[in-house]
Each structure stands twice: as structure tokens, then as C-alpha cells.
């Protein structure tokens, strides 16, 4: 049996700042074993009972990984079509035929722009306050589609 688990969550970083929350929205639903959420969080949720509230901190290494220096690039300013470039600006990088991925400007000098292609949550320990709101068997249709239907899932 493949299980569907739906949960509400508030995600905070290592400074206690809220990064994301499902409060006031639909819960997040996933199919167990399908790799749809962070593995450590999935394992934790699978051990909780219906309506149980709990909290877990997932180290960065088991979430979005460490920040990698090779994902930080120094690019000459003349490579940028626009003149006004500020810290925090985002650019889509990617060659012909390759999907673009966002890079964030982290520093600007007279000659170079520093672009960081790390995931914004790379290097951040993530704390999840969770409440399990549904546990049930996946339907045959969900199994065939490979995703959850209904609240917190896909609406066709
Ligand atoms: Zn579907």
C-alpha cells in the first residue's frame, strides 16, 4: 500500500525566521516513497500519528545541501546588457536549449558582478513545525498519476 500523508507546516531557518508556512492555505500532501519532499522530513512524518503536532530540524546537508563555492561566479560587468545591477537582482542563466535557473546577485564591483547559483536554502538548517491532518491509502488513480489528488494535491 502506498500512503498519502497531508500536513500543515511552518518552516523556519536557523535564525528562527519563517521561510514558508501552509497556515491559512491547503495542507501539503505527498505520496510516501515517491521522493516528493525532503527524505528526512518524510521519514519523520511517517512516524507521526494523525493530528499529531511535532517539530524537526533537518540539517542543511540533508535538505538542500551545503552552499558550494563552485556555484558562485564572478562575471565581468560588460556581459550584462543592463547597466543598473544591484545586490538581490535575479538573472536566468543557461545556454541554448538548457533550462534556465535563477542566479542571485550577491555583490557588485566596478568591474565584476558576483552571481550565486546556490539554492536559496542551501546551507540553511530547516526547522519544520508540522501537524499531520490526513493519512490514507493512495487511490489507484493517484498511483497511476504519481501524485496526490484533492486538498493539498493536484486538482484536475
Ligand atoms: Zn492526477
Per-residue pLDDT tens over the stretch 59-101: 999 998 999 999 999 999 998 877 789 999 988 766 555 566 7
How many angstroms is it from 134 CA to the middle of ligand 1? 18
Cell 487511490 belongs to which residue?
139
Distance (Å) of CA 75 to CA 8, 105, 110, 118, 122: 41, 10, 11, 16, 21
Ligand 1 centre to CA of 151 (Å) is 12
Instruction: Give the separation between CA 31 and CA 53, rounded to whole angstroms.
Output: 19
Cα 156 to ligand 1 centroid, rounded to whole Å: 7
Q: What helix, strand, coil percent values describe the chain, rounded to 5?
A: 15, 40, 45
Chain-centroid distance of CA 16 in Å reads 17
Question: Each residue of 101-156: pLDDT tens digit?
Answer: 788 999 999 999 999 999 888 999 999 999 999 999 999 999 999 999 988 889 88
Span from the CA of 153 to the centroid of ligand 1 (angstroms):
9
Contact residues for 111 (Cβ-Cβ < 8 A; gap 6+): 76, 77
Amino acid at each position: 500500500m502506498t500512503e498519502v500523508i497531508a500536513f500543515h507546516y511552518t518552516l523556519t531557518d536557523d535564525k528562527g525566521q519563517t521561510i514558508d508556512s501552509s497556515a491559512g492555505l491547503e495542507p501539503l500532501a505527498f505520496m510516501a516513497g515517491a521522493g516528493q519532499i525532503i527524505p528526512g522530513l518524510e521519514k519523520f512524518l511517517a512516524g507521526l500519528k494523525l493530528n499529531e503536532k511535532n517539530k524537526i530540524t533537518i540539517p542543511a546537508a540533508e535538505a538542500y545541501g551545503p552552499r558550494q563555492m563552485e556555484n558562485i561566479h564572478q562575471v565581468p560587468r560588460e556581459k550584462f546588457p543592463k547597466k543598473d545591477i544591484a545586490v538581490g537582482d535575479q538573472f536566468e542563466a543557461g545556454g541554448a536549449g538548457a533550462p534556465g535557473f535563477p542566479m542571485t546577485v550577491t555583490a557588485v564591483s566596478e568591474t565584476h558582478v558576483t552571481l550565486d547559483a546556490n539554492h536559496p536554502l542551501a546551507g540553511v538548517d530547516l526547522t519544520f513545525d508540522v501537524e499531520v491532518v490526513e493519512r490514507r491509502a493512495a487511490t489507484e488513480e493517484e498511483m497511476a498519476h504519481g501524485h496526490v489528488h484533492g486538498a493539498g494535491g493536484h486538482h484536475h
